Structure 1
């Protein structure tokens, strides 16, 4: 119960990795805000949490919209009066296709950046006033190994995750005086229930052979680091990126 009675907003938590985070945070005692664009998916995750004896609030949220993210923070404060944790998980990835950088449509580039980069900024902007007033808060951003690898044919996604790391470092500097910690988690290739045209199970297994730990990464591998960064155990850690990649960077 390391997160007992903590109020945690998790974006994109209606499926995949976000759902895993939401369920795990609830098991650790957090009251979870399911900030999810798809109301039906969000409600399903909330029902799982409540059925297990936890507390959850669904707030339909478009992270690329300032008014929507402000409403997300307002609904959280109205319900529980504080915001202790923001986990920026929402991102566009599963629906994009691999293609050379000069074949990426401009609209696709803009749509991805609106969620993956602007969305992180807007969600941080929305929760910052409450965290400043409390003089305490934890912001966790989900980056990706692709930034370090410079993976080909995903330039907009690679650039967006590089921006997430840059935002993490910049915000840590700006918010440190208020007792707010800002860190990132950088995973490898994660397999969830979300279908992806660009990453087959066979491809993920082949990718895992490049790691020191040669198995496909699963959402459970990120739960421990996320709970650590959300808890008081990490109070003196900020501006950092924890690489959770099975030792890929050692290869």
Structure 2
């Protein structure tokens, strides 16, 4: 993927690690999560971030610049029950964001994360196991009393990809309508 993009455009300015397993999950007690589900989720949500960052780093090193934006989740700060594998994977993404920010700063790369609350993407909205799980609780917890959509995250990602964020690194910006008033 990185090689194809670089060959086509001659440079890479931003890596957005957005791939994740979530919309197909069924909330369940941690001791009922099948090991193969745990492993599959970790392979995408954690190892995928590591692999993509590892592959783009030589390009960023040669350019002496770049941005990595990892998509985490606000569940990390909340400790959401019945989703341990997902919460743990996104906690790892936050930790990786901080560690990579320190490691890549000397080559001009900033690394940040965006931690959305529950976003009603098409795939999430189509999964009744998620949308019917404690209905109304998400909205009640938010200061901004409405559903969140993918478009609500775009501005934050665009900001972190821009030169306006050149002195921000190792941070996790929570985009959840005011549900969490803390740092991750």
Range class of TM-score, shorter chain? over 0.9
Q: Which residue of 1 aligns with 2:142?
A: 211
TM-score after normalising by structure 2? 0.94
**1:134 aligns with one of 28, 41, 63:** 63
- Root-mean-square deviation (CA), in Å? 1.5
1:228 aligns to 2:159 (yes or no):
yes
Offset at 1:197?
Answer: 3.0
SS in 2 for 1:182: strand
Structure 1: gaps (5+ residues): 1-71
Q: Which residue of 2 aligns with 1:49?
A: none
Larger relative contact order (Cα-Cα within 8 Å, sequence gap ≥ 6): 2
SS in 2 for 1:248: coil
Q: Which moved more, 1:187-196 or 1:154-163?
A: 187-196
1:246 aligns to 2:177 (yes or no):
yes
SS in 2 for 1:215: coil
TM-score after normalising by structure 1? 0.69
How many residues align? The count is 180
Deviation string for 1:213-249 (max 9, x for gaps)? 1111111111111000001010000000001111111
Distance 1:240 1:230 in 2: 13
**2:109 aligns with one of 158, 162, 180:** 180
**2:79 aligns with one of 150, 158, 166:** 150
Distance 1:202 1:160 in 2: 20
- Alignment check: 8 A CA contact 1:205 1:215 kept: no
- Alignment check: 8 A CA contact 1:94 1:197 kept: no
**1:99 aligns with one of 18, 28, 36:** 28
Structure 2: gaps (5+ residues): none
